[in-house]
Structure 1
Amino acid sequence: MGWLRLFFLYPVSLYQGTAFPFALLFNYLCSMDSFSTHARHLFLLAGGGALALAAMGSFAVLVFIPALGTVVLIYSLGPQEVHRWAFFFQMSWQTLCHLGLHYTEYYLQEPPSTRFCITLSSLMLLTQRVTSLSLDICEGKVEAASRDIRSRSSLSEHLCRALPYFSYLLFFPGLLGGPLCSFQRFQARVQGFSSVCPRYSFWTFTWKGLQILGLECLMVVMRRVVSAGASLADCRQLQCIYVMWSTAGLFKLTYYSHWLLDDSLLCAAGFGSEFGESPGEEGYLPDADIWMLETTHRISLFTRKWNQSTARWLRRLIFEQGRAWPLLQTFAFSAWWHGLHPGQVFGFLCWALMVKADYLIHTFANLFIRSWPMRLLYRTLTWAHTQLIIAYITLAVEGRSLSSLWLLCNSYNSVFPMVYCILLFLLAKRKHKVN
């Protein structure tokens, strides 16, 4: 079961690749004055509907229903009530769908449909857009066109005013992946679009394509290494550390490649960073900062840079709203959002402890380590330890099931998070005494 997410990411990448020509077509059409804002919204919405049906089949209705429900809530409720009800409705719907996956995997003991897994992934991304939009309305950043669904306006007028919301929630470049695009940015691009310099666009996409190709080649090598070696079920002692590192490396390479493809699709459609920012607009943030992720010696920095747009969304939605234990609330919600599988609950709670320990360890080290040779040694050791802890968390989250989690916890790999847990206890106790 631990490989399920890897398997369904490949067809997702395939569908994202087929959407690429349509993104370029949208980019080209937007440079024409005859292509109105209304037509742009319809193009994005129709593309999203077609992509959903192609990738999810009949399961696409599980994405269409909450999108429709969200628009109804926006038109029916006041700005201060929208976020609470939209959050409750969307997370309840997503949780019911995740429970269906639990039932298939753990009760029926059957592999779930690939289309259903793609649908769940799309629902998670829809949750981001729904809650981001509802928060914008609640905070006054976005003004809903009308909140009286019973007004005397005709049905066609209601649909025209609701079209931007439908288009945003289901637009095809962000349906199956990609960094979270705020509604403000989405509207700014649709309403005031200008085509990018062809030469700049060509070199941008060429560079991204070379990066994806390089990652795919590395993935082939890593897949052969992982397949030829032992697994956590039959590894011996220190060999389990190598098994964990190589398997987690394959997962990370898969995500990096997928995120770069998603980012390229958004850029091709005109929602990327190279088009500049509008005043008051939430900046574009790509998900993958590979160099920073692979070189940092701090778990807290890795956490902020891993899937960056999601990290920013979680910070805004949970961390900044939480009054008590905001860090724990954020990681607990992340486990809920991912589906509440046993490995995910353990992995995200472990991650929260590691981030807390990271802050205390590095604060303490900065006070007492002065010479550059000791700092170099310290950075090297903490880099290796950070990479191994992240590998441990990755296998816990991606393994998901209790059996996979049991194998991981019973291996030598548990030493690495245990060291940080002990240091967290000792340094927290020391800090308390000092205070």
Structure 2
Amino acid sequence: MDWLQLFLLHPVSLYQGAAFPFALLFNYLCAMDSFSTSARYLLLLAGGGALAWAAMGSFAVLVLLPALCAGVLISSLGPQDVHRWAFSFQMSWQTLCHLGLHYTEYYLQERPSGRFYITLSSLMLLTQRVTSLSLDICEGKVKAASRGIRGRSSIPEHLWKALPYFSYLLFFPALLGGSLCSFQRFQARVQGSSSLGPRCSLWALTWRGLQILGLECLKAVLRTVVGAGEGLSDCLQLQCICVMWSTAGLFKLTYYSCWILDDALLRAAGFGPELSQSPAGEGYTSDADIWTLETTHRISLFTRKWNQSTAEWLRRLVFQQGGARPLLQTFAFSAWWHGLHPGQVFGFLCWALMVQADYLIHTFANLSIRSRPMRLLYRIVTWAHTQLIIAYIMLAVEGRSLSSLWLLCNSYNSVFPVVYCILLFLLAKRKHTLN
């Protein structure tokens, strides 16, 4: 499959690895009293610009320009308006870039440049930081650095006051990947005293290196199995289940490896969990909770732990804002944020239904199943079903196109989400009758 090869050969990890020496250098310089706060902001900003240009080429303008505009908006607008305008501008810009991808892939029938895919990925992460910062200002967690262009300060002075915002939006350890770092956490690291600043743990980095090596070895073995077997277009009946499970496993290993690498880069720069020990530091959220993801028998728990910082961001940005059907709104927005490809729209809406079914199924089971052997059997069956449904959703989202989605829906794999949909209908009807 071309889309599978494209995903596996994604070169972001190479650029993340190349940024490691600079992250260690930044951590070392922060330990020097002579390295001022302004110099730290400038170094992170310059590193982000250099990394963007190296990884994206001329497409870097698509990230640098909205970051500049978002920084100006955030430093110019009042707390009551900043989130609405920043959110509208950033999502409009990102949507236009995704529409350019749609035009190239579906209308021109051409494969876009690999640098363009890196640009879109970085742009999605930029949207997280922009909206997180604007929400912090709107909620009073962060004090605006400027009262806007109506003040007496000159434009260069306004830009200098907005330097922490620009540095946060483009700081190089989080430009291409990594869990979402809040502005308060970022500021606590940059402005922290050198004597109290976090130290990079050599053992922590070594352990993550060993984890990445192990995951890459597993991925190489699984890639050989997937490459030697039949695809969804050629598989027969129950064989399609094995194809789906193994292909989804390859995707998972790739994500796990990337998340651990991103986590190691943030730690090397001093933005790891050690920062939480400082008075101003916030909690650190790691995206790769592999044990929970691979052992849970609940789709709802898998959803909260999969790419955990992004799940928490979506919860804050959409779910907690109120309105009718917040779960459906959250997954619909996630499909929009990812690009609104046909497979993504189907996959995220299916995911929302599966989470809703999961709540009802497990509530009913907890009330109905009493014996320990039956509970054990129930847990084993629901674990397998959860993993198969997640694999189904993952192939729909990663496949993206209508042709890949059609192959998936016409295979035996569609039985698993259909079972949960039937149980959702029956249990919802029973709940309504009891009420």
Q: Aligning the two structures, in what range does the TM-score lie when normalised by the shorter sequence?
A: over 0.9
C-alpha separation in 1, matches of 2:178 and 2:229: 33
Match of 1:330 in 2: 330
Letter of the 1:230 counterpart = E
The count of aligned residue pairs is 432
Within 5 Å, which residues of 2 pair with 1:193-342? Answer: 193=193, 194-197=196-199, 201-279=201-279, 281-342=281-342
Q: 1:426 to 1:406 in 2, by over 3 A?
A: same
Q: Residue 72 of structure 2 corresponds to which residue in structure 1?
A: 72
What's 2:133 paired with?
133
Aligned letter for 2:160?
C
The aligned runs of 1:51-90 (5 Å cut-off) are: 51-90=51-90
Query: What residue identity is the alignment partner of 2:174?
Result: G
**AA aligned opposite 2:291:** W
The equivalent residue for 1:6 is: 7
Amino acid paired to 1:304: R
Q: Does structure 1 retain, via aligned residues, the 8 Å contact 2:189–2:197? A: no
Deviation by residue 1:234-269 (Cα, 9 ceiling, x = unmatched): 000000000000000000000000000000000100
**Alignment-mate amino acid for residue 322 of structure 1:** G
Distance 1:4 1:333 in 2: 27
Q: Find the aligned partners of 2:199 and 2:63 in 1 and give their Cα distance.
A: 35
Displacement, 1:5?
A: 5.3
What residue number does 2:164 align with? Answer: 164
The 2-side partners of 1:131 and 1:224 are apart by: 41
Q: Is the 8 A contact 1:303 1:311 kept in 2?
A: yes
Consecutive aligned runs of 4 or more in structure 1 exceeding 3 Å deviation: 193-198, 277-282
Cα distance in structure 2, aligned partners of 1:356 and 1:279: 39
Q: What is the Cα deviation at residue 91 of structure 1?
A: 0.3
Match of 1:392 in 2: 392
Q: Distance in 1 between matches of 2:155 and 2:415?
A: 63
Is the CA contact 2:16–2:265 (under 8 Å) kept in the aligned structure 1?
A: yes
Q: How many Å apart are 1:156 and its aligned residue?
A: 3.5
1:148-174, Cα deviation, whole Å (9 max, x unpaired): 224322343222211100000000000
Q: Which residue type is aligned with residue 6 of structure 1? A: F
CA distance in 2, matches of 1:197, 1:111: 43
Task: Quote how far apart the aligned CAs of 1:76 are.
Answer: 2.5
One-letter code aligned to 2:7: L
Partner Cα separation in structure 1 for residue 319 and residue 241 of structure 2: 33
Aligned residue type for 1:399: G
Matches of 1:326 and 1:281, distance apart in 2: 30
Give the match's secondary structure for 2:34.
coil
The question of whether the paired residues in 1 share the 8 Å contact of 2:27 and 2:199 is answered with no
**Corresponding position of 1:45:** 45
What amino acid is the match of 1:286? S
* Percent of aligned pairs sharing the same letter: 81
Structure 2 residue identity aligned to 1:256: Y
CA distance, structure 2, for counterparts of residue 359 and residue 35 of structure 1: 52
Maintained 8 Å contact 1:45/1:167: yes
Deviation at 1:2, TM superposition (A): 2.8
Is the Cα contact below 8 Å between 1:357 and 1:421 reproduced in 2?
A: yes
**Using the alignment, how far apart are the partners of 1:2 and 1:397 within structure 2?**
11
Task: Report the AA paired with residue 101 of structure 2.
Answer: L
Q: Distance in 2 between matches of 1:259 and 1:197?
A: 21
Displacement of 1:279 after TM fit? 4.8
Tell me: CA distance 1:428–1:279, structure 2 relative to 1, closer, same or farther (3 Å). Answer: farther
1 CA distance for matches of 2:56 and 2:433?
57
Q: Structure 1-normalised TM-score?
A: 0.97
CA separation in 2, counterparts of 1:176 and 1:190?
20
Mapped to 1, the partners of 2:260 and 2:226 lie a distance apart of: 23
Provide the C-alpha distance between the structure 1 equivalents of 2:338 and 2:304, rounded to a whole number of angstroms: 17
Q: Which runs of 5+ in 1 are unaligned?
A: none
Structure 1 residue matching 2:324: 3-state secondary structure: coil
Q: Report if aligned partners of 1:53, 1:60 keep a CA contact under 8 Å in 2.
A: yes
TM-score by length of 2: 0.97
- In structure 2, the gaps of 5 or more residues are none
State how far apart, in whole Å, the 1-side matches of 2:120 and 2:148 are. 32
2:90 and 2:353 map into 1 onto residues whose CA distance is 28
Cross-structure match for 2:426: 426
Which SS does the other structure have where 1:3 is aligned? Answer: helix
Aligned partner letter, 1:395: L
CA distance in 1, matches of 2:294, 2:170: 33
Q: Are residue 413 (structure 1) and residue 413 (structure 2) matched?
A: yes
d(CA) in 2 for partners of 1:8, 1:34: 42
Alpha-carbon offset, residue 281 of structure 1: 4.9
C-alpha separation in 1, matches of 2:31 and 2:280: 24
- Pairing of 1:175-194 with structure 2 (within 5 A): 175-193=175-193, 194=196
CA contact (8 A) 1:28 1:195 kept: no
